[in-house]
Amino acid sequence: MFKEFIGSLIKNNIGSLIKSIIEVFKFFIDYFRRNKIIKYIINNKDSQCLHFDDIVQKTKLTPKIIYYQLKKLEENGAILDLSSDLDGCREFELIRILNIDII
C-alpha cells in the first residue's frame, strides 16, 4: 500500500511537472513571436498603415499566429485597428497603428 501511494505521488508530480514545463515553453514561444511582430511594427512606425501580408513575409509567421499575437497585444494595452481595406481586400488586410506602448 505504501509503495502504491509513493508510486502515485511520484506519477502525479511528474505529470504536473511536465505540464508546467510545457506551459513555460508555450509562454516563451508566444513571447518571441510577439516580440518579432513588435520589432516589425516599431521598425515601420512611420508608416500610417501596415499590410498584414508584409508582416507575414517579414516575420515568417503564419497569419493565424500573427492575428492571435496581435489580439494578445490588444489585450495587453496596445491599440490596433484591425480593419479590411476599402477596395475589398481580405479581412484584416490592413493594420492601422493608432497607438502602441511597448514596455
Q: Is the pTM of this model over 0.75?
A: no
Helix axes 63-75, 52-59, angle to 10 degrees: 110
Please tell me the distance from the alpha carbon of residue 77 to that of residue 15, in angstroms, as a whole number.
Answer: 35
Asked if 68 and 33 touch (Cβ cutoff 8 Å), the reply is no
Please tell me the distance from the alpha carbon of residue 37 to that of residue 90, in angstroms, as a whole number.
Answer: 20
pLDDT in tens, 18-44: 888 899 999 899 888 888 888 887 787
Kindly list the structural domains of the chain, giving each domain's residue range(s) and its CATH number in brackets, ordered by start. 2-99 (1.10.10.10)
Q: What region does 34 belong to: left with phi over 0, alpha with psi -120 to 50, or beta?
A: alpha
pLDDT in tens, 53-93: 788 888 888 888 888 888 887 777 776 666 655 444 444 44
